[in-house]
């Protein structure tokens, strides 16, 4: 089983901490290959995940509209069977869809309060 987790960055935050803990546990299970795709490769949890020896994929996105990097992202994420999103970044999600028949999972940690327009749009894109 090949699982790829998606984060925008490794900055300190609840989703980033949860991904770090999840990856740490998944890496200890035989038959489970895990990686993390970062939109931007920096931050406290980026360093912690890298220190685990987890494969890191870096999109090196300047922003969430950097469509010129879409083809490279699709190529990087292709080998993973399960794409687990911990936030909905449209470019990463579109790359996942373009990479073919994958299992896509989304985990929301922000509660169910009223979201700003941009976040509502991202959730609509993700079918949430």
CATH number of residue 13's parent domain: 3.40.50.2000
pLDDT at 41: 94
pTM for this entry: 0.86
pLDDT at 87: 87
pLDDT at 116: 73
128 residues of the chain, pLDDT tens digit each: 999 999 999 999 999 999 999 999 999 999 999 999 999 999 999 999 999 999 999 999 998 889 999 999 999 999 999 999 998 888 999 999 999 999 999 997 766 666 677 766 766 666 66
Task: Work out how many domains the chain is built from and give that number.
Answer: 1
Give the CA-trace dihedral at 83, 119, 91, 107, to 10 degrees: -10
Note the helical H segments in 9-101: 14-26, 44-51, 70-77, 90-98
Q: Quick check: 20 and 48 in contact, CB under 8 A? A: yes
Q: Rounded to an integer, what distance in angstroms lies between the CA atom of residue 7 and that of residue 107? A: 11
The token duo for 38 is 């970062």
Expressed as residue numbers, the domain containing 26 is 2-125
Q: What is the DSSP letter of 67?
A: G
Burial class (CB in 10 A: 0-12, 13-18, 19+), 69: middle
């Amino acid at each position: 089983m090949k699982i790829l987790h998606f984060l925008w960055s490794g900055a300190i935050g609840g989703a980033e901490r949860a991904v770090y803990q999840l990856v740490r546990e998944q890496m200890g299970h035989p038959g489970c290959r895990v990686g993390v795709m970062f939109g931007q490769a920096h931050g406290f949890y980026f360093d912690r995940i890298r220190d685990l020896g987890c494969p890191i994929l870096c999109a090196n996105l300047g922003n969430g509209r950097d469509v010129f990097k879409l083809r490279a992202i699709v190529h990087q994420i292709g080998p993973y069977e399960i794409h687990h999103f911990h936030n909905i970044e449209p470019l990463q999600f579109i790359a996942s869809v373009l990479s073919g028949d994958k299992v896509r999972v989304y985990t929301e940690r922000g509660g169910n309060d009223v979201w700003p327009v941009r976040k509502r749009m991202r959730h609509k894109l993700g079918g949430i």
